[in-house]
Structure 1
Amino acid sequence: MSHDGVGLRAVTRSVAFLTAGVLAVPALAGCSEQDEAGRPTAGQDIAPAKRGQVADGGTVHWAVDNVPETLNTFQADADAVTSRVAGAVLPALYRLDANGRPRRNPDYLESAKVVDREPRQVVLYKLNQQAVWSDGREIGAADFAAQWRALSGKDTAYWTARNAGYDRIEKIERGASDLEVRVTFKKPYADWQSLFSPLYPKSVMGTPDAFNDSARRKLKISAGPFTVDTIDRESGDVTLKRNSRWWGHPAKLSELVLRAVPREKRAAALIGGRLDLAEIEASEAYRITSAGRDGKAGGGAPLTHGPGAALTPGKALRSWAIAHGSDEEAADEEITARKKRARAVAKYAGQQSSLRGFVVRKSLEPAFTQLALNGSEGPLADERVRRAVARALDRKELAQVVLKPLGLPAEPVGSHLALAGQHAYADSSGALGGQDTQEAQALLSDAGWVAGGPVKKEKKPKKAAGAEASKKAKKAKEADEADGGTYIVGRTDDKPTDGDEKDAKKTKKEKEKKEKHEKQEKWDGAGGVEEKRLAQEGKQQLRPGGAPGAYAPRGTAAPGGAAAGSTAAGPLAKNGKPLSLRFVLPSGPGSQSLRAVGERIARMLDRVGIRTEISKVTNESYFKDHIASGQYDLALYSWPASAFPATDARPIYSKPVPAADGSLNVEQNFTRVGTDQVDQLFDQAIAELDADESRSLVRKADARIWAAAGSIPLYQRPQLTAARPTLANAGAFGFETPAYEDMGYLKK
């Protein structure tokens, strides 16, 4: 699981004050008879076509992030690519529909139902009579039993990443025929439909050695519309071929090639013809749609973007005049600049011509981005401060920052445990309350944080130790710059603790300003105004929130100083310490939207007197070194939605407990915020076989998660996919499990 991970099963959501840590939310339980789940916020966009309209044969090159380390989805290093391969080549007894709800897969199951509840829960599976493995053997009870034993957790020789649900099974038996499988549970299990998807053959699950090794790099036996043909780690291709023993609708494609291409290189791969289908970032989506518009404008139409977009007729005339003027030095420089610009424009135009061969299909991912509040220590250990942070946020505005520029519905997510359209969804955010500046300030005041309160100044280091202190400061600065930089968003009423350092910075700044002015005069005198402007525009595009096609609107102001409309009298302080929170954000490619949202959040918090120290760190260290290890106060990352929240969401929100070695066992609860009541509701929901009552318990748990304010769901992540216009039944799938056998190119 990562801040970008998505999958069916992840590694595998006026203020009511708490009294003695218990919140009474009888009206927020979501237990009414009316279905509150509603419809998905956005539908899928896959260019649907009937199978008769799709041609037989052809190859689709589909971009993935990497070549999977293992093809066994139950191992710790399995990832989204592992799941994609499994979805095409292995049995899945249940698939997700367009609403994100599990549906029986008739290719494998004729029926499945609970036939006994007392004294034990018994589920009877009746298998499709034609279901066979690629070696010709029937799929049956032996495969179910082998997978249960491997994942039950009883034998530690199996290197399993999870065993949820399998640990509740008591036995598995053959039914009245070879096509029937009886599964008896020792404990009731509401999410029994989550089991045996994917289902592996007994040859993979039968022994620890086979489980640990045999399915890591190859999968000899499969039972899906495709089989694994080759895995080429040098080229980065995983090639799936049509399964000749597949009994369902035959795959339309001859081959499906999963090609490892990093996100930042996908535009080049599309231009080079190496990809037919690829999830892309907003900037690439903008380029593709712009290429289409330019193409429709007719030959010779000027580009409205790219390296030549800033050159207006007036600037072009000035450039021509300088290039043909009497100042030979200026003319030479301008001629060189014009040639360089012409080459860049020609190259970009050629790339845009190639991108006209693609369309952008868009929806919302079955995943949501949240603001995580680390409640293990510091100011956020106080529930009132966490609630104040939440009440300071305008979640609708934050959703619009990311989704509105893309033309996608900008609705805040109302649940930690499901998304709109899924069975368990209900908007329980009322348990915490919406944006309310006065309420946020009242909560902070109640917690002892006083606006404009005294702040103790740190002692100035002695001069004798000055050299050592300077050395340490230099090292700290270098380490911080390596991570991407740190800056403060908030008021600066409290004076700097080191006046000398301030004067030095001021002198340096004045010197730099003077040099810049002199350089400007020299530049203008040489006639390089246009090139300077182009360079400045290039720099402006790299600022968070300012890049064309980025999730934030153009012109988003950089944070700094007091925000407009601030209502707090000054920085908040308590016991001589200011209220300042470390906000960790990723700095790498593809994280522009998170940075834009993070900076907007910082300004919202500043309005109530909460300062934020924004630290930008590399994508590689973001989750491992900061989120998972608890080295943050505020952070943004995403969780995938699950059709089985009672099972899959429990480790994310369960109360951390001390481990035997004295450390804190947080499972996947990286906010370190949990309550006994939430744990009890999850336990009750997972054991409740009445589906409506189980959903009611899940919704009650969600209301209490909201009330604890350990994490604040913000918005569903956008899903943008570049695809060949003739490619059908593929694109932005939304919730629905891809029907790999139906993907293909339209008949001419």
Structure 2
Amino acid sequence: MSHDGVGPRAVMRSAAFLTAGALAVPLLAGCGSEDPAGKPLAGPDIAQAARADIADGGTLRWAVDAVPETLNTFQADADAGTTRVAQAVLPAMFRLDRNGRPERDPDYLESAKVVDTEPKQVVLYKLNQQAVWSDGREIGAADFAAQWRALSGKDTAYWTARNAGYERIEKIERGANDLEVKVTFGRPYADWQSLFSPLYPKDVMGSPDTFNDGARRKLKVTAGPFTVKKVDGRGDEVTLTRNPRWWGNPAKLSEIVLRAVPRDQRTAALAAGAIDLAEIDPEAAGRITLAARGRSTPTPLQGAGGRKSTGEATGAAADEKAGPEKKGRPEQQERGASAKIERQRQALQGFEVRKSLEPAYTQLALNGADGPLADERVRRAVARALDRGALAKAVLKPLGLPTVPVGSHLALSGQAAYADNSDALGGQDTAQAQALLADAGWVPGGPVKEKKGKDGENAAGPEGEKPEKTDKADKTDKAGKTEDSGSKNRDDKGHREAGREQHSGEEDSTHLAQDGKQYANQLHQGGVPGAYAPKGTAAPAGAVAGPLAKDGKPLTLRFVLPSGPGSQTLQTVAERITRMLEKVGIRTEISKVADESYFKDHIASGQYDLALYSWPASAFPATDARPIFAKPVPAADGSLNVEQNYTRVGTDQVNQLFDQAAGTLDQDENHSLIRKADSRIWAAAGSIPLYQRPQLTAARKTLVNAGAFGFQTPVYEDMGYLRKGAKPAAGASSGR
């Protein structure tokens, strides 16, 4: 999970699981002949090339966010870097194809299938007879059994972060020969293909000590095209080198160096020749694209206002950081800065931007634990106020990527379980949003105790009464929210003005600004005292609602956002959402917090009303998505166990559908159950999927079979640099 830069793997609430205004769940696709999964919106963009056109040798320097704390993917502090190392050096029985669906990896498996279902489910794996660990030992049943025992959850001495699926295994035994592994399940498990990927050697999984500590900073025994040569925490690098015992196609590269480079420093690192491949933000992508055209004029791809990236700013301002004795005359400084920018531009001409969509989506999370959003009518009103298509367009159109909003919480377009189930909640509808709010008791013109004005006196409420004075300890807003340290809560006037800012590249900025003026005029005029609309009364079509109140408290939601490098896209999306919510009478207070505290201190702890963050899509949603959407339950100590359901919204029915899907071996039935669960997640309105995250990768032009992978698992042995005179395959730049 991540804010806009990813993250993890990561019931019966009565028949009337929705209150007043319940939404009927539509008939689900999948019953007819047409496959609702469709195709991926964007394929991999990796400059595909035949192995014969790739030079032998070379080093790929690949930027990562940080050197992984552990090389054991089953530990709690494993991250994307951990996964990247595991993909290159360890067996995986199944990998993902370009559609995000699991496929057998023939380097490890000749076959794998369910051979019995009665009385127990039995899966028979037939291993590639050449598959061996780097110490020469054959991969076999002993390794499968050791991983099962470590991850089964029966021995708490193993510090495991997840054991889904492994706890259902009853026994593992050798088959007819050493190349066969027979796995018997105590309970049926639909997602059995998710297991043993990656597979660690029994040397790691065989005891709690080796599991907990043995694979954190080194992996002595591996079985992939590469091995781990060195993990240099102080130097912020992990070096992978060719595995001499690899039986598949030999790796083209001699080494892969995973180098920790902060995202806001990657443009400069690319230009300096320190890295060859890096995920980048839209601003950096714009600079590289322009450099390839021999230009330096900003474009919308560079972000709002065409701001300089950190790399450009570093070069341009280098003289400004020098002491007075090192500074020349202004014209000399300008010439020096311009020369540095030109050198950087020329260096960036050796790179190109490869783009796809990540197997992850950005959502608006609504905290349903308490406050106004504990009422599902208010949550649904927030959802109906959003134009998800406009939000997707704002983020993806400037990048030349498909602008289709995400229609599922549990899969993405092209994946087997995908179907657009958003009709279970409904699309943007201002009148319906206002009717839901009125039904929940939030009405315009109610008496509200205003915050203190600039002169220190309390402002009079709409009805002219003079609110009580509050002391310093009472400086929480009337919705019960407190200002976060390191964040800014704007007053209403400042917030409205900020919300009406126009941004470059936003096609609807003009009419949004006009809406803002209309809203400001309405606020200035005020409402008729005592003029309350009856419950369920919708505002006139097209009207911009005034602020709403209930029991003397305004409807104000705290919108928490990260403030670090790379968060500009989220902030732009949040500003658009704020304007959409204003149109139905919902006000927001944006709190920008440090990246390092965003999840731990705000999302995970529930200190927010609205937030933007991302979830990865899984090929096995019945297993991987369940903890994200499962109904929170009280723990023994009185706290609430939310697992990864940070919205605190869930139903018994959703839990039951996940359980049923995980236990059926019929794929069609499994997909139908997943889609039903998704429809009910939509109806509960705890989270609103917005858009599939853009995946922008800067790659050296001569580097092939690497870039923006989309759903597809990278093929590490095929990465490399083109031979002199060779070119990528025709149409390879798009990967489609």
Q: Which position in structure 2 is the counterpart of 1:109?
A: 109
Asked if residue 407 in structure 1 is aligned to residue 400 in structure 2, the reply is yes
1:554 positional shift = 12
Q: 1:353 to 1:457 in 2, by over 3 A?
A: closer
Q: Which position in structure 1 is the counterpart of 2:486?
A: 483
Which residue type is aligned with residue 250 of structure 1?
P
Q: String of CA shifts for 1:42-86, please: whole Å, max 9, x gaps.
A: 111000011111111111000001111100000011000000000
Partner Cα distance (1:559, 1:244) in 2: 66
Q: 1:572 to 1:213 in 2, by over 3 A?
A: same
Q: 1:554 to 1:155 in 2, by over 3 A?
A: farther
Q: 1:611 to 1:467 in 2, by over 3 A?
A: closer
Q: Is the 8 A contact 1:68 1:78 kept in 2?
A: yes
Q: Is the 8 A contact 1:371 1:634 kept in 2?
A: yes
Q: Which position in structure 2 is the counterpart of 1:528?
A: none
Unaligned segments of structure 2, at least 5 residues: 11-15, 307-327, 459-467, 477-481, 521-540, 725-736
Q: String of CA shifts for 1:350-386, please: whole Å, max 9, x gaps.
A: 1111111110101110000000000010111111110
Asked if residue 629 in structure 1 is aligned to residue 605 in structure 2, the reply is yes
Q: Which position in structure 1 is the counterpart of 2:371?
A: 378
How large is the RMSD of aligned CA atoms in angstroms? 3.1
| Structure having the higher Rg | 1
Asked if residue 390 in structure 1 is aligned to residue 383 in structure 2, the reply is yes
Any residues of structure 2 matched to 1:19-98 within 5 Å, and which?
Answer: 24-28=24-28, 30-98=30-98
Q: Which position in structure 2 is the counterpart of 1:747?
A: 723
Q: 1:556 to 1:106 in 2, by over 3 A?
A: farther
Q: 1:556 to 1:33 in 2, by over 3 A?
A: same
1:235 positional shift = 1.6
Q: 1:385 to 1:303 in 2, by over 3 A?
A: closer
Q: Which position in structure 1 is the counterpart of 2:434?
A: 441
**Count of residues in Structure 1 that have an aligned counterpart in Structure 2:** 656
Partner Cα distance (2:332, 2:204) in 1: 61
Q: 1:170 to 1:287 in 2, by over 3 A?
A: same
Any residues of structure 2 matched to 1:189-268 within 5 Å, and which?
Answer: 189-268=189-268
Which of residues 587, 591, 608 is equivalent to 2:584? 608
Partner Cα distance (1:583, 1:184) in 2: 48
Any residues of structure 2 matched to 1:721-736 within 5 Å, and which?
Answer: 721-736=697-712
Asked if residue 348 in structure 1 is aligned to residue 332 in structure 2, the reply is no
Q: Is the 8 A contact 2:73 2:79 kept in 1?
A: yes
Which of residues 407, 410, 417 is equivalent to 1:424? 417
Partner Cα distance (2:154, 2:279) in 1: 40
Which residue type is aligned with residue 175 of structure 1?
G
Q: Which position in structure 2 is the counterpart of 1:645?
A: 621
Q: Is the 8 A contact 2:239 2:257 kept in 1?
A: yes
Unaligned segments of structure 1, at least 5 residues: 296-301, 311-334, 494-539
Any residues of structure 2 matched to 1:124-139 within 5 Å, and which?
Answer: 124-139=124-139
Q: 1:558 to 1:281 in 2, by over 3 A?
A: farther
1:734 positional shift = 0.4
Partner Cα distance (2:484, 2:658) in 1: 43
Q: Is the 8 A contact 2:405 2:692 kept in 1?
A: yes
Q: Which position in structure 1 is the counterpart of 2:524?
A: none
1:348 positional shift = 1.2
Asked if residue 579 in structure 1 is aligned to residue 555 in structure 2, the reply is yes
Which residue type is aligned with residue 710 of structure 2?
G
Q: String of CA shifts for 1:203-240, please: whole Å, max 9, x gaps.
A: 00000001001100100000000000011112211000
Q: Which position in structure 2 is the counterpart of 1:710?
A: 686
Which residue type is aligned with residue 576 of structure 2?
R
Q: String of CA shifts for 1:231-280, please: whole Å, max 9, x gaps.
A: 11122110000011000000000001111111111111111100000000
Q: Which position in structure 1 is the counterpart of 2:596?
A: 620
Q: Is the 8 A contact 2:26 2:424 kept in 1?
A: no
Partner Cα distance (1:115, 1:197) in 2: 20
Counterpart of 1:132 in 2: which secondary structure? coil
Which residue type is aligned with residue 373 of structure 2?
L
Q: 1:61 to 1:557 in 2, by over 3 A?
A: farther
Which structure has the highest helix share of the two?
A: 1
Partner Cα distance (1:558, 1:10) in 2: 43
Partner Cα distance (2:40, 2:202) in 1: 38
Partner Cα distance (1:154, 1:83) in 2: 25
Any residues of structure 2 matched to 1:247-646 within 5 Å, and which?
Answer: 247-294=247-294, 336-457=329-450, 469=471, 483-487=486-490, 546=503, 563=519, 567-646=543-622
Partner Cα distance (1:558, 1:106) in 2: 59
Q: Which position in structure 2 is the counterpart of 1:660?
A: 636
Q: 1:401 to 1:199 in 2, by over 3 A?
A: same
Counterpart of 2:294 in 1: which secondary structure? helix
Q: 1:184 to 1:562 in 2, by over 3 A?
A: farther
Q: Is the 8 A contact 2:419 2:675 kept in 1?
A: yes
Partner Cα distance (2:426, 2:233) in 1: 50
Between the aligned residues of both structures, percent identity stands at 71
1:168 positional shift = 0.2
Partner Cα distance (2:722, 2:120) in 1: 51
Q: Is the 8 A contact 2:72 2:82 kept in 1?
A: yes
1:344 positional shift = 2.2
Q: Which position in structure 2 is the counterpart of 1:18?
A: 18
Q: Is the 8 A contact 2:111 2:126 kept in 1?
A: yes
Q: 1:4 to 1:202 in 2, by over 3 A?
A: farther
Which residue type is aligned with residue 397 of structure 2?
K
Q: Is the 8 A contact 1:389 1:605 kept in 2?
A: yes
Counterpart of 1:713 in 2: which secondary structure? strand
Counterpart of 1:487 in 2: which secondary structure? coil
Q: Is the 8 A contact 1:370 1:638 kept in 2?
A: yes
1:342 positional shift = 2.7
Q: Is the 8 A contact 2:45 2:707 kept in 1?
A: yes
Q: 1:107 to 1:188 in 2, by over 3 A?
A: same
Q: Which position in structure 1 is the counterpart of 2:462?
A: none
Which residue type is aligned with residue 208 of structure 1?
P
Counterpart of 1:66 in 2: which secondary structure? coil
Q: Which position in structure 1 is the counterpart of 2:140?
A: 140
Q: String of CA shifts for 1:511-549, please: whole Å, max 9, x gaps.
A: xxxxxxxxxxxxxxxxxxxxxxxxxxxxx9xx99858x9
Partner Cα distance (2:495, 2:709) in 1: 47
Q: 1:204 to 1:602 in 2, by over 3 A?
A: same
1:492 positional shift = 9.5
Q: 1:661 to 1:349 in 2, by over 3 A?
A: same
1:620 positional shift = 1.2
Which residue type is aligned with residue 288 of structure 1?
I
1:484 positional shift = 3.6
Which residue type is aligned with residue 85 of structure 1?
V
Partner Cα distance (1:54, 1:492) in 2: 55
Q: Is the 8 A contact 1:545 1:593 kept in 2?
A: no
1:563 positional shift = 5.0
Counterpart of 2:52 in 1: which secondary structure? helix
Partner Cα distance (1:85, 1:206) in 2: 21
1:2 positional shift = 3.0
TM-score, structure 2 as length reference: 0.84
Partner Cα distance (2:514, 2:335) in 1: 32
Partner Cα distance (1:245, 1:436) in 2: 61
